[in-house]
Structures are given as structure tokens and as C-alpha cells.
Structure 1
Amino acid sequence: PGWYVARDGHVIISMPGVPREMKKMWEEQALPRLRALAGGTLFTRILRVTGVGESTVEERLGDLIHATNPTVATYAKFDAVDVRISAKAVNAGEAETLLAPVEAQICQIFGRRIFGTGTQALASVVGGLLRTTGWQLAAMESCTGGLLSSYLTDHAGSSDFFRGGVVTYATDLKARMGVPQATLDQFGVISDETALAMAQAVRGDLGADVGVGITGVAGPDSQEGKPVGEVHIAVASPRGTEVRQLLWRGERTDIKHRAAMAALDLLRLHLLGEVEG
């Protein structure tokens, strides 16, 4: 059972906690009543932003965050900050007239930081770019413990572009998998040079077009004098090489997740450069 109360210009709806029952009541009873009160239909569009924190996204949006019809709101999600644009309109055409200019402004603000719309996942976008290029990917991970490979293979059809991955957690295993010992000795495990050597080694060992290497300090203790949260990510492909050094604060699991997402984003930007020329 549930109940609906309208009083003093406000509406209170109570629904059962069982998801199946609540969904049916929402769709058949609550939502039609709310739509009737709204005097129009709510149309929404979601832009997915990566590599920028929610507070920074809000700051860059400026006055847009205070706009009305359409309204703009931000939501921190697993792999992105979602920017939702919502407009109340009588039909889709009117909604498009309201939504399009605001969407264009937001796209101008964030540019390539926007990787998708709606519910698109960053890993699936990377997969789509790999399919477009026809390239195969291989990963050598250390501090992320295989998390990047896990995210990539969460999506059906990943065998089209993902050759495989190895977790070289121990330093000696990195050398056994093709990272030059001289690189490890001279620059250390936590370095741009080692991340790049990992990407190049796994690319060759697994017969892939693109290799990605991730090394860093997930914590809770520092390593080789490097602070917790320092991560080095590298990509090697026929297009060339790219390396990124990042530093985060947070718990071990947070750092691992952020590192894997940052690797996906570096891959995305690298592949976009190939696709767009």
C-alpha cells in the first residue's frame, strides 16, 4: 500500500520499499499525477564529464547552475561527473529549443572532457574507439591490480579489441615481462619511464597495437620515497607514446579506481587523436 497527500501546494507520496511493487506504483499511480501537476513534460539530457571533480565542474558552469527552464545540475558518479540539463516543455520540439543552446554552452566549456551522454560508460567509449581504429589493446598493471582490465571486460564484446592484461605487482616480474632492468634501477618502479616501458613491453609481448602501463603507490605506505597516491600511466601505439603523472589523496581503493579511470581517459584522448587525425 501507499498514499498520496496534496496539501498547501505540496505533495507527499509514500510507496512500498519492495522495488518491484514501488516501480509499479510509481509508473501507474504517482508519475501520472505528478505530470498532470507539472503542466508539461520534463525532458532531460545528460553530459558525462571526466577528469574534473564535481566542485570544479560546478565552478566552471558559473551562472548556468542557477538557471531555470532549463535547469542545470551536477551529480558525481562512479566514472564521471554527470551534468544534467532539464527543461519543462509541452513537446519534444519545444524542449529541443530550450536544451540545445545550454548544451552547446556546456560543450564549449568542457570540450573533450565530455566523453559521452546519458548512461555511456567511459570503458565502453574507449572500446568503441578501439573498434573504430581496428586496434587491439593490452595492459600491464601494477598498483591497480587488474582493475583497468576488469572495467574494459565488463562490457560485452570486449574480446573484439582487448587482447589481455597482466598484473606485474612484484618488481622482478616487471623485468621478467620485458621492462628493462636498467630502467627500473635508474628511474625506480614509480616513474614515467617505467610506466612507458610497461606499456611498450606488454604491447609487444601480447601482440597488441596499443599498450598501456600503470604503476604507482596505492598506499597505505609510501614506496621508494614516492607519496601515497602518486601514479604514472603510459600509452604506446602506432601513433606514438603518451605519459601522465597524477597525484591523489584518498583510501587505497579510491586511488586504484581513480588510476584505472585516468588510464581509460588517457586511452580515450590518445585514440581520439588517431580517429580525428
Structure 2
Amino acid sequence: MTPRGIEADEGAGMRAEVLSIGTEIMFGEITDTNASFIAGQLPQYGIDLLYVSQTGDNPERMKELFTRAWGRSDYIFVTGGLGPTEDDITREIIGEMLGETLSVDPEQERLLRARMEGSGRRMPERNIKQAMLIPSARALPNPRGTAPGWWVERDRKVIVVMPGPPAEMTRMWEHEVAPELERRADSILVSRTLKTTGLGESAVDEMLSPLLKGTNPSIGIYHRADGVHARIAAKAKTRAEAQRLIEPVEAQARAILGHSIWGVDDESLPAAIGHMLRAQGLTIALMESATGGAIASAITDIDGSSDYFKGSLVTYATEAKIANGVPAEIPEKYGVISRETAEAMAAAARIRLNASLGLGITGIAGGSEVEGQPPGTMHIALTDGEHVEYSLTRYYQGREAAKRRAVLNALTLVRTYLMARAAEGG
């Protein structure tokens, strides 16, 4: 959905450009997630991203892109080309464009050698180029890699150069770049995202319609893979002032959306479920078939999940289900892909792994019809030993998409149960 109010205010701030460097990007070997990350960060600092460009490690094309960006943008954010090899030439291109000479910075060389030696490696001499600076650049620390970034400032323009690996780039952004951008910003855009499940985009839009006419804060409604998000955004001189503007609108939105809200901002559904399981003193075990362990993977992506997650039995074959406690007569009578088998899997997982809750899922992720059921059919059951909750999913846009949707629906089923239990004082 199109953002409303201040979120759509383009052209009022500083102009920015993102340059992504790397031949592997041009060959489609990796996805340029860095550019989308930076694009999502810039609005809060009043910086308008107007251009995004990608190129391989080709000197002439890089010169063309950098020169064009320097002529039309106030901020240039560059990722990639900071490695030690001959084709890592981002530093050289910037130095040549600005007419400045690269030289080894003694402090950066010392840090680089110490980092290499600390990991038990001798530094190859070719790595010395990673310690080079030009006069208008200062180094940005990179504790996750060997290549420091650059903050270049000249002629009232800024070039920020960061490593290509996303883990290194995001850490550098959060600890080095973002604080400096906030310090320089005339105003700050702060947002709060309420994540919902069980409601369609049009339903959320209609429910929040009394709040949608505002411009500061503004509200945007978006459909995402994990549900519908309502993003409240406010602009002010300081972060604290913007947050104060958001608070009353957020309170009204929460009152309207109620229990359909499962998380906020960067919180994931597995994390939200983990908080609830821990708070209620419960544990959970799984028996997965069609998802092949994907639900367990999502749960264990969260730090501390061993507090509440007992494990997952991946029982792809019927005999594996039976060997792990599913009565043979159930799939024989009702079919492997059935509600009854999912319920038996949930009960068996709970007992086998000695958990408070058991979740079972059986279905068909792809291929052709099985037992009269189309691809994308997933039967999901959750039991606490006394009660059983059940969900049927039919969604197919390819095998991986079907599995992702099944994971989302399984986690949503767990969340719904935990919310109801908490409301009853459980």
C-alpha cells in the first residue's frame, strides 16, 4: 500500500545515492541486500535516496558511476570493493576521482596486523592496501572483518564506503554511520511497526481508518510474509520528540487491533512465541513431515530457545511416524495427509520428548496430488494433552513458498493458543 503523509515526502532532504560494487552481483550469484537495507535506513535521517546503481569490478564503469554520483548527490553510500585482491579497487577509484593519493595509515596497519596475528594468521603483504587512506578520509572500524570502511568528506559532500559482506556492513552502519547521520540530521523520522496476523490488508486499513488521516504521525499499511504491518511514523527535531508523537497513536491502534498484534518492529514470530512460552513456563516439541524441520529451524534461530524447545522429530516417511509413536491404524484409516494424522503426530511428539505442548504437521509441499489433496495442503495440530487445536492450510506458489506459509501458520497456531491460555490466566 502507498505510504501516507510524511512517509511520502520525497525531495525535501539531502540527496543520496547507493553504489553496490561486485562482479558477483552482476552475475546474479548474490543478492544485493545491502542496498535495500540502506534504503530502509535513510528516511529517518531526512535523506532522500534518489539513485541505486550496481556494477562489477570494472575500472572504467566504476569511474563513470562514481563521477556521476559525485556530481548529483550529497551523500554517496558505497558497499563492496574493499578486499585485498587486485580487483578490489573502490579505494583507488575514489582517490583518483578526488585527485588524492592513497597512503598506508600506520594506525590502520597496526590494527590490521594485530587482528591477523590474533587469529593465528600471518598477514599477506597484499592486505596492506586495506590500511590505506586518502587525506579526506577517516577509517571506520570493522570488528567483523579485515577491511575498515571510509568516511570521506569534501566540498560539502560525503562518501561512506562499507564492506560488501552484509554482516560487516550492517554492524558498521549501526555503530559508525547511523550515529553520525543522526548527529547531522535537521529532523529525525521515527517509526513503530505493529505486526498483525489473522487479518487482511483491507481489514486492517478499514479498522484503522479513523487514524489514517493524520500526517504527523502518519500510518502506512503493508502486506508482508508474516502478516499485515501497520507502520506509524513521526518526524521531529529529536528522536525523543518523535517517539512522544507516536505514543498516543500507537495506543489507539493497539486498542483497535487488540490480540491480532503479535509483535513490533524487528521482532519475529518465533521470538514472540518464545517470550510467551518462557513467560508461561511451557515447553514445546514438534513432529514435522512436509516442512522437513523448517519449523524447528525457525524456533532455534532465537537465542535461548533451549529454555522452551525440546526438539523436533522429522518423520518424512510413514514408517518413521509409526516408529515415533503414531498409531499405525491412523494413517492407514485416514491417510497420511489428514487432520487425524497431524493430531497423532502432535500427541506423539509431546510424549516422546516430554514437552508441555506437541505440534504435528503433515502435508504435501509440492509435486502432484496425493490422497486426493493438492500440493500446498498442510494439516497442523497442537495439543497440550487435553485439548487439540487444528489448522488447515492450502497455499501453493511453489514448494518453498508452501513450506514458508506452513511454518508461518504453524507458529500462528501456537501463538493463538498461548494468547488464549494467557487470557484465561494460564
Range class of TM-score, shorter chain: 0.7 to 0.9
1:268 is paired with a residue whose SS is helix
2-side partners of 1:154 and 1:10: how far apart? 38
Looking at structure 2, the residues matched to 26 and 43 of structure 1 have their Cα atoms a distance apart, in angstroms, of 13
- Matching of residue 199 in structure 1 with residue 346 in structure 2: yes
- In 2, the alpha carbon distance for the partners of 1:263 and 1:107 equals 24
* 2:389 paired with 1:242: yes
Contact 1:239 1:274 (8 Å CA) reproduced: no
* Residues in 2 aligned to 1:166 and 1:125: alpha-carbon distance in whole angstroms: 23
> Is the partner of 1:74 in helix, strand or coil?
strand
| Counterpart position of 1:12 | 15
Paired residues of 1:231 and 1:259 also in contact (CA < 8 A): yes
Give the TM-score, by structure 2 length. Answer: 0.57
Residues 347 and 385 of structure 2 are in contact (CA less than 8 Å); yes or no, is this contact kept in structure 1?
A: no
Residue segments in structure 2 that go unaligned for 5+ positions in a row: 1-10, 18-75, 81-148, 150-160, 163-172
Alignment match of 1:153 (pick from 277, 297, 300): 300
Q: What pairs up with 1:81-230 in 2 under 5 angstroms?
A: 81-90=228-237, 95=242, 98-230=245-377
Q: Which amino acid aligns with 1:16?
A: F
Residues 208-237 of structure 1: per-residue CA shift (max 9 Å, x gap)? 111000111211322111122221111111
What residue in structure 1 maps to residue 420 of structure 2?
A: 273
Relative to structure 1, is the Cα distance of residues 172 and 55 closer, same or farther in structure 2, using a 3 angstrom cutoff? farther
Amino acid at match of 1:249: Y
Q: Structure 1 residues 145-154 or 185-194, which shifts more?
A: 185-194
Identity %: 40
**TM-score, with structure 1 as normaliser:** 0.84
Q: CA deviation at 1:182?
A: 2.0
Aligned length: 265
Letter in 2 for 1:89: A
CA distance in 2, matches of 1:66, 1:229: 39
Hey, what's the Cα distance between the residues in 1 that align with 2:302 and 2:247? 30
C-alpha RMSD over aligned residues: 2.6
Segments ≥4 residues shifted beyond 6 Å: none
* Segment of structure 1 superposing worse, 144-153 or 112-121: 112-121
SS, match of residue 16 in structure 1: strand
3-state secondary structure, aligned to 1:225? coil
Letter in 2 for 1:176: A
1:35-93 C-alpha deviation (Å, 9 max, x unpaired): 32xxx433321211224454554454336445311111234445343321011234567
Q: 1:224 to 1:271 in 2, by over 3 A?
A: same
- Aligned-pair CA distance for 1:247: 1.7
Higher radius of gyration, 1 or 2: 2
Q: Once the 2 structures are TM-superposed, how far is the Cα of residue 260 of structure 1 from its aligned partner?
A: 0.9
- Aligned positions of 1:54-93 closer than 5 A: 54=201, 56-58=203-205, 60-62=207-209, 64-90=211-237
In 2, the alpha carbon distance for the partners of 1:79 and 1:186 equals 35
Cα pair distance change 1:153/1:103, threshold 3 Å? same
**2:381 aligned counterpart, secondary structure:** strand
Asked if the contact 2:16–2:77 (Cα under 8 Å) also holds between the matched residues in 1, the reply is no
Question: Shift of the alpha carbon at 1:96?
Answer: 5.2
Query: Gapped runs of 5+ residues in structure 1?
Result: 1-7
Higher relative CO (Cα under 8 Å, sequence separation at least 6) belongs to 1
> For the residues of structure 2 that align with 1:27 and 1:93, how far apart are their CA atoms?
15
